[in-house]
Amino acid sequence: MVNAAQLRTRYAVLLLGAAVLTAGAWLRGAEYDEQYTLLLTAGVPRPIWPDTVFSAGVVAAVQSGHATMAGIARDLRATDVHPPLYFWAVSWWREVFGSGLFAARMLSVVCGVVSLGLVGLIARRCSIALVLPMLMTLGSYGFVYTNVVARGFAPAQMLTLGGLALLLGRRPLLAGLSLGAACCCNYLAVFVAAAVIMAAGAWPAVLTAAPFLALDGWFFAAQHASRQGQFPPFAIWPSIVRLAEYQTAALFGGLPLYASGPGRAAVTTILGLLAGSIVLHVAGARPLRAERGVRMVLAAAVAPPIGLLLLGAVFDNTPIELRYLSFGLPFIALMITWASAWPGRRTRNRVLLALVLVTELAAIIGLLFSPRTMQPARAAAEAAEAGHVEVVLLPRGNDGVGIVGGFGIEAPPALPLLLIRPGDPITARIAPYHRVALAALAQDSDSIAAIAGARVALARAGWRLVADRSNLEVYERADVGE
């Protein structure tokens, strides 16, 4: 039973979670991948931008459309590598709340708050303290990050948590619906779904998950070869090292980014030791001998890293990223809390828990406010506005989506943009101007080549660099002021 004080504390954590996630959705700049969400649900997954100068406001206008469910399905199968359920949900959400990035992010925020509530529910059903795992989940860098961006991680995580809660409540058919829907929001949710079904022995859940998995298969069959070369080839030991680094980062974020030289190495070492202590802390409590519910939570916690290793081995790549490991974070928080109730080491447990929470707090502050944890579109756009330039040379990128979309919605609507590609005749295209900026947003192969080519062309034509900050380089013609 949950008493009144526990309920009040639980609701307070949910309100805190809503505040933190909403702040993250508002404060963080636009990201590359989010533009695929906005443009796909606007019905223009691969927009054709003007070859001449156009204002940044055109980008937001293009993103303000509304796609049909059939159109989203068709475009996803042709242009992307994700299942449809999240994008259908975003499309309906945008119809009600608007087409802007913040509106789309708020769907993730709502899912994140529900996820926190489900962490408390799972804790209660496993006889684990309620509030601590909720706070620890909210403090996890990867949890906050994936629950403020406009991508499919947040609803997928919410549905996996819901599926586990339903399995704990002995409702396998409903659990299968929830877990299947999670996989239809993000393919990688299948790791947690499979793990908890096997740990529970709840095979009827497979029956109700099957329609969603069949839909996933139909999409994946058309998409699986569309992003060859996205990840480096698979090698077991480098993959394990990368996995350890990113799992630690999923918990504690980019704290090493705030130091340099020996200080960065020291912070990295401390975080590594803290992560190792967590593993020993949980393993020492012998979770494999615990009751059924705890074993299910343990299976969900270890499923993402193990699944990513198996996926890499099968497809000969290394698909290990911080956001992919976010699915296991609430379950890790639950396991840490469960292990802390193990008798005989109360003082040591309290010290470890305090260190984890304090470190997580520092990481979340950085996530909310530090530009070092954010992609560069917003900072570059602000620098362009302050630079008083006549036009911004903006790399089109591989497909005209991530870079153009992110910079365009962060920039003032009237800011003139000129998209550049590798091999463009840069000097001829900017001949009418005397002060231009190059947005050095090197975020994919085409943008890297286009930026390098633009620098060479400007140097050869006698333009001089007069300012360089926040991924924006300002150039003036050599004859200015003469």
273 within domain boundaries: yes
Rounded to an integer, what distance in angstroms lies between the CA atom of residue 474 and that of residue 465? 6
Q: Three-state SS for 57?
A: helix
pLDDT at residue 405 greater than cutoff 70 = yes
Claim to verify: residue 296 and residue 424 sit in the same structural domain: no
Among 122, 148, 131, 126, CA closest to 20: 148
Least confident piece of the model among 69-73, 192-196, 211-215, 385-389: 385-389
pLDDT at residue 341 greater than cutoff 90 = no
35 within domain boundaries: no
Span 27-44, pLDDT tens digits = 999 999 999 999 999 999
Domain closes at, from 358, 373, 388: 373
pLDDT at residue 438 greater than cutoff 90 = yes
202 within domain boundaries: yes
Span 151-167, pLDDT tens digits = 999 999 999 999 999 99
Rounded to an integer, what distance in angstroms lies between the CA atom of residue 339 and that of residue 128? 9
399 within domain boundaries: yes
Give pLDDT, residue 225: 65
137 within domain boundaries: yes
pLDDT at residue 346 greater than cutoff 80 = no
Claim to verify: residue 252 and residue 304 sit in the same structural domain: yes
Give pLDDT, residue 229: 53
Rounded to an integer, what distance in angstroms lies between the CA atom of residue 250 and that of residue 232? 20
Claim to verify: residue 148 and residue 277 sit in the same structural domain: yes
Rounded to an integer, what distance in angstroms lies between the CA atom of residue 356 and that of residue 349? 11
The confidence band for 228, taking pLDDT boundaries of 50, 70 and 90, is low
Domain closes at, from 328, 357, 373: 373
Claim to verify: residue 395 and residue 247 sit in the same structural domain: no
Span 91-133, pLDDT tens digits = 999 999 999 999 999 999 999 999 999 999 999 999 999 999 9
64 within domain boundaries: no
Extract long-range pairs of 117-122: CB within 8 Å, 24+ residues apart.
117/10, 117/14, 118/158, 118/161, 118/162, 118/165, 118/330, 119/161, 119/330, 119/333, 119/334, 120/10, 120/13, 121/165, 122/161, 122/164, 122/165, 122/168, 122/293, 122/297, 122/330, 122/334
Average pLDDT over residues 386-390: 92
Expressed in percent and rounded to 5, the helix, strand and coil fractions of the chain are 65, 5, 30
Average pLDDT over residues 212-236: 83
pLDDT at residue 230 greater than cutoff 90 = no
The confidence band for 139, taking pLDDT boundaries of 50, 70 and 90, is very high
Claim to verify: residue 121 and residue 259 sit in the same structural domain: yes
Q: Which helix (H) or strand (E) holds 438?
A: strand 435-439
Give pLDDT, residue 261: 84
Give pLDDT, residue 168: 97
Domain closes at, from 373, 400, 423: 373
What's the domain range around 127?
Answer: 4-30+100-223+237-373
pLDDT at residue 234 greater than cutoff 80 = yes
DSSP β-bridge partners for residue 418: 393
Tell me the percentage of the chain whose pLDDT exceeds 90: 87
What is the DSSP secondary-structure string of 329-345?
HHHHHHHHHHHHT-TT-
352 within domain boundaries: yes
pLDDT at residue 321 greater than cutoff 60 = yes
Average pLDDT over residues 270-288: 93
Claim to verify: residue 381 and residue 369 sit in the same structural domain: no
pLDDT at residue 342 greater than cutoff 60 = yes
The confidence band for 344, taking pLDDT boundaries of 50, 70 and 90, is low
164 within domain boundaries: yes
The angle formed by the CA atoms of residues 209, 189 and 375, to the nearest 5 degrees, is 145
Span 180-213, pLDDT tens digits = 999 999 999 999 999 999 999 999 999 999 999 9
**What is the overall mean pLDDT for the chain?**
94
Average pLDDT over residues 407-435: 95
Claim to verify: residue 310 and residue 388 sit in the same structural domain: no
Claim to verify: residue 368 and residue 417 sit in the same structural domain: no
Rounded to an integer, what distance in angstroms lies between the CA atom of residue 246 and that of residue 185? 22
Give 154's contacts (C-beta < 8 A, 6+ positions apart).
107, 108, 109, 111, 112, 115, 146, 147
CA dihedral sign of residues 473, 474, 479, 482: negative
The tally of domains found in the chain comes to 2
Q: Is-above-0.85 flag for pTM?
A: yes
Claim to verify: residue 363 and residue 251 sit in the same structural domain: yes
The confidence band for 376, taking pLDDT boundaries of 50, 70 and 90, is very high
pLDDT at residue 406 greater than cutoff 60 = yes
Give pLDDT, residue 448: 96
Claim to verify: residue 214 and residue 298 sit in the same structural domain: yes
Rounded to an integer, what distance in angstroms lies between the CA atom of residue 179 and that of residue 210? 10
Give pLDDT, residue 347: 77
Tell me the percentage of the chain whose pLDDT exceeds 70: 97
Give pLDDT, residue 231: 77
Give pLDDT, residue 232: 82
Claim to verify: residue 301 and residue 219 sit in the same structural domain: yes
Claim to verify: residue 317 and residue 217 sit in the same structural domain: yes
